[in-house]
Structure 1
Amino acid sequence: MKIVMFYHSLVSDWNHGNAHFLRGVATEFIKRGHAVDIHEPENGWSISNLIATHGPEPVREFRARFPLLRSKSYNIGTLDLNRALEGADLVLVHEWNDPALVRRIGEHRSKTGGAYHLFFHDTHHRAVTAPQQMCQYDLSHYDGVLAYGDLLRQVYEKRRWAWRAWTWHEAADTNVFCMSRNCHFEGDVVWIGNWGDDERAAELREFLIEPVKSLRLRAKVFGVRYPQHALDMLRDAGISYGGWLPNYRVPEIFGRFRITLHVPRRPYVDLLPGIPTIRPFEAIAWTS
């Protein structure tokens, strides 16, 4: 089967957690004998920020770590869908794509008489936090939506954005996250996550920063988009900051600390409860 996937980035996971799941799913497709084409926009904000802050070396390292995975960069103004979708059996279009591209792919499927199955893949909270943005997506020619939680699926059904929707939870890539043990620790607590528009600032203070400070634990934080006041809070609590960490190095970091913790963003807790995000799955897979 030929599977074509349109995602924001395969190569970069800089502030782009969807890359974790994409890499795992694409790897499994390939290992099962399917042909996989992955398209990502040239100069997307994730890859652009990654190269701007770390240079080209992370791209080279990604290619060495994931030899089966390759993506094709496109310019939305010149993208030839006839060529990109030639021979496709299944097409997956992620939610973090330009609405114009989402519409064009749907129209292409309609014009070709439904030559392939077409699904919209949503792994974000915008359907409940920014519904005016999601209304821009024309899914009229899609077979349906793959939503990463039941509540999100119900939003699509209730608002009639799509005529069918299914739940497809995120999961850990067990090619990367597999059982490992370490008896030599260099710290007590590690937190791996982005600051993220203050969506969990209070929770990070309550469940990470203040306990580490009061218990005098050895802790380290990895992630991006930490404003200066957040870095100041970490420093005041004696927490070291490691910056961006490629996801394929996370198992190695897990092994250096006694515990990790997960602090979900507030929209998921308040508006989409019960939707498990990928980081807890990765931690569980690493210890199982």
Structure 2
Amino acid sequence: MKFVLFYHSLISDWNHGNAHFLRGIATELLLRGHRVEIYEPTDGWSLRNLRTERLSDSLMGFFKTYPHLLSRFYQLENFDVGAVLADADVVIVHEWNDPALVKKIGRHRARSNHYLLLFHDTHHRAVTDPESIARYDLEHFDGVLAFGKVLRDIYLDRGWAARVWTWHEAADTHVFRPLPGGPEEGDLVWIGNWGDDERTHELKQYLFDPVETLGLRARVYGVRYPERALQVLSAAGIEYGGWLPNYEVPRIFARFRLTVHIPRRPYRRALPGIPTIRPFEALACGIPLVSAPWDDVENLFTPGRDFLMVHSRREMEEAMAAILHDRKFARTLADQGRTAILRRHTCAHRVDELIGICRELRLSRFAEHRPRKEPAVT
């Protein structure tokens, strides 16, 4: 089949975590013999920031890591949807696209029924900014891929779509895997962006204060850290590493002894069961993980076995100390976490689910258009 994918960016993951999953899904589709075309806008903010901060050298690393992936740029005002979708079998449009593009593709789908059209939502805006999601015209879409059951239920309850499937993010295990240990660079590493004050208190409680109390050698990578945040890091004795291209994450994990997951507040409070992609990637790399609280209502993992879940600063300090002081325990925890990923949460698993959804839609369409037999005349 030919998959045509419209996403904010494939080649830039500057403050853009969805690029991680997109790369893994596209890789897996190609490995299975499907054709894949990925389109991104020429003026996307993620790539623009990458260039503004003179980080374009990282693009060379992207092409080296993903030589099989290609991004096609477009300008909305002169974009020929008909030509691009002429031989498409499946079209997926991510929610971080211009509503005008979503509407344009939807109108084309209304005139053509040779491909399946799906909308993909991997953000908390359905809760924090529902008006922005309601602006998308999904009338002619075949359905929605939502990265958590609670988000799926929101789409159905608000009437934004008639058919919605839960489609969690997952780890690209071709890239995110344990690497041979290089020189050890510290005790703890955390990779995450500041996040518009969506987890400022949580970072202090579950990362900054425990690191300072235990006297750990720690480093933080990410972008959009204001000056006051950098001062807090410095006061806690934490090194700031700046932006880290996502394909470099496995190499960094191999040089530290543990990492943490600190969910943003909108996910923890309003979207339970959605851990975002970072913990999937960390566990796939075989590094022990300690998580601040989130409600795994969909039973994706087994907390206490795949990773440690804590509910207070004191518990976080105890969990960190246990991992750092007992290498056998740390190794067992890391191995169990990676096993959980390989069993259920790789991009290969998600492609299996996607193909199943496409098959379901094809069968449904066939049933709707199948000629009815006239009753026999007696």
TM-score w.r.t. the length of structure 2 is 0.75
Per mean C-alpha deviation after superposition, the further-off stretch among 82-91 and 176-185 is 176-185
Confirm or deny: 8 A CA contact 2:178 2:250 kept in the other structure.
no
AA paired with 2:142? D
Distance 2:98 2:70 in 1: 21
Matched, 1:107 2:101: no
Confirm or deny: 8 A CA contact 2:188 2:259 kept in the other structure.
yes
AA paired with 2:162? W
1:108-152 deviation per Cα after TM superposition (whole angstroms, max 9, x unaligned): 01112x220000000000001100111100100000000000000
Matched, 1:254 2:263: no
Distance 1:172 1:183 in 2: 22
Residue matched to 1:162: 161
Residue matched to 1:237: 236
Confirm or deny: 8 A CA contact 1:169 1:276 kept in the other structure.
no
How far does residue 179 in structure 1 lie from its aligned partner after superposition? Answer: 2.9
1:191-214 deviation per Cα after TM superposition (whole angstroms, max 9, x unaligned): 100001000010000010011111
The answer for unaligned runs of 5 or more in structure 2 is 287-337, 339-378
For the aligned residue pairs, the C-alpha RMSD in angstroms reads 1.0
Q: Equivalences for 1:144-223 in 2 at 5 Å?
A: 144-180=143-179, 182=181, 184-223=183-222
Residue matched to 2:70: 70
1:77-130 deviation per Cα after TM superposition (whole angstroms, max 9, x unaligned): 111101111200000000000011001101101112x22000000000000110
Q: Counterpart of 1:261 in 2: which secondary structure? A: strand
Q: Counterpart of 2:194 in 1: which secondary structure? A: coil
Distance 1:219 1:190 in 2: 6
Residue matched to 2:19: 19
How far does residue 54 in structure 1 lie from its aligned partner after superposition? Answer: 2.5
1:130-184 deviation per Cα after TM superposition (whole angstroms, max 9, x unaligned): 0011110010000000000000000000001001000000000001011335385
Residue matched to 1:278: 277
Matched, 1:31 2:26: no
Confirm or deny: 8 A CA contact 1:200 1:264 kept in the other structure.
yes
Residue matched to 2:40: 40
Q: Counterpart of 1:145 in 2: which secondary structure? A: strand
Q: Counterpart of 2:78 in 1: which secondary structure? A: coil
> Cα distance 1:55–1:179, how it changes in 2: closer, same or farther (>3 A)?
closer
AA paired with 1:209? F
> Cα distance 1:159–1:67, how it changes in 2: closer, same or farther (>3 A)?
same
1:242-278 deviation per Cα after TM superposition (whole angstroms, max 9, x unaligned): 1110111000000111100010100000000111211
Confirm or deny: 8 A CA contact 2:148 2:166 kept in the other structure.
yes
Q: Counterpart of 2:53 in 1: which secondary structure? A: helix
Residue matched to 2:129: 130
Q: Counterpart of 2:77 in 1: which secondary structure? A: coil
Residue matched to 2:294: none
Per mean C-alpha deviation after superposition, the further-off stretch among 157-166 and 50-59 is 50-59
Count of equivalent residues: 287
Distance 2:226 2:254 in 1: 28
Confirm or deny: 8 A CA contact 2:178 2:254 kept in the other structure.
no
Distance 2:247 2:182 in 1: 21
Q: Counterpart of 1:93 in 2: which secondary structure? A: strand
Distance 1:55 1:184 in 2: 25
1:206-253 deviation per Cα after TM superposition (whole angstroms, max 9, x unaligned): 010011111111000000000110000001111110111011100000
Q: Which structure has the greater CA radius of gyration?
A: 2
How far does residue 55 in structure 1 lie from its aligned partner after superposition? Answer: 4.0
Distance 1:217 1:270 in 2: 30
Distance 1:200 1:244 in 2: 18
Answer 1 or 2: higher relative contact order, Cα 8 Å, separation at least 6.
1
Matched, 1:56 2:86: no
Distance 1:80 1:50 in 2: 28
Distance 1:179 1:204 in 2: 26
AA paired with 2:181? N
AA paired with 1:188? D
Distance 1:214 1:181 in 2: 30
AA paired with 1:45? W
